[in-house]
A and B are shown apart, each in its own frame.
Chain A
Amino acid sequence: MTFDAIGIAGTALTVHRKWLDAVADNLANVNNASPTSGPAFQARYVEAQAGAGTSGVYVAGIREGDATGRLVYEPDNPIADAEGYVRYPDIDMSEQMGSLIMAQRGYQANAQVVDRARTMYESALQIGRSS
């Protein structure tokens, strides 16, 4: 069995990029008000899955959060219902910011893996080189 460090880190980079995209989508829609008759914006969560053997990590799917959201009393809002409520998505901004940092750091760590693997392969080529 071979361990393709560069390829494995590449799959992890893709997963973290998709996680970043999901967080960006959640933060972009965090203040969406919607009428109470319909669902609120559902937060997107990336479901990561380990690949078979040592083939890295993959995105198994995108799970969606709670459609109920939270009801906010905004009688001036044109889409408010008869009682004056609108629906906001149930997204915790601080949790999303935490996920943002984790996605960024995970991406950086795996980019470092690619770089270190390249350096290691290059040092393997220096073995036995006289000059």
Chain B
Amino acid sequence: MSIPPIGAVGPVGPVLGSVTATTGSAPTGGGGFAASLAGAVDDLQQLQSTSNQLAVQAVTGSLDDIHSATIAATRAQVTLEVAAALRNKGVDAFNEIMRMQA
């Protein structure tokens, strides 16, 4: 798993310019977020199965490096937290939008 570094936050542009840019672009739909989340879940599944394999090797004594098991577990844990944060953000956004009709 590689977590890319987060770039510096750019300066906030003029409000009028950003508004005109937003109105000019077509709506993209929810496919991007769904695909991102599905990809993250796939990665997570892969990491967790690796972690499980290494844990089994550790307890059966066929593991050379103890740290490879703990590192795999750490990676799986961090990735799970990232996926959970992504999902929570998505659900929050959905709930916020659903509250708009009231």
- Interface positions of A (Cβ within 8 A of B): 2-4, 6-7, 9-10, 13-14, 17, 111, 114, 118, 121-122, 124-125
Contact assessment for B74 and A114 in the assembled complex, using a CB-CB cutoff below 8 Å: yes
Query: Is the beta-carbon distance between A4 and B1 smaller than 8 angstroms?
Result: yes
A118 in contact with B78 (CB, 8 Å): yes
- What does DSSP make chain A's interface, helix, strand, loop or mixed? helix
Interface residue tally of chain B, by bracket? 10 to 19
Closest to A21 in B: B64
Closest to B75 in A: A6
Given A2-B3, A2-B4, A4-B1, are A121 and B65 neighbors across the interface (CB < 8 Å)? no
| In the complex, the 8 A-B pairs of residues with the closest C-beta atoms, listed nearest first | A2-B2, A13-B67, A4-B2, A2-B4, A10-B71, A121-B78, A125-B85, A118-B74
Chain B, residue nearest A14 (CB): B65
Which residue of the partner chain, among A6, A121, A122, A125, contacts B71 with CB atoms under 8 Å?
A6
Report B's interface with A, CB cutoff 8 A.
1-6, 64-65, 67-68, 70-71, 74-75, 77-78, 81-82, 85
Cβ–Cβ contact A13 & B65, under 8 A: yes
B82: which A residues are within 8 A, CB to CB?
A: 121, 125
B74 touches A17 (CB 8 A): no
Residue of A7, A13, A124 near B6 (CB, 8 A) is A124
A-B contact pairs, 10 of them (CB 8 A): A2-B2, A4-B1, A6-B1, A10-B68, A14-B65, A17-B64, A114-B67, A118-B74, A121-B81, A121-B82
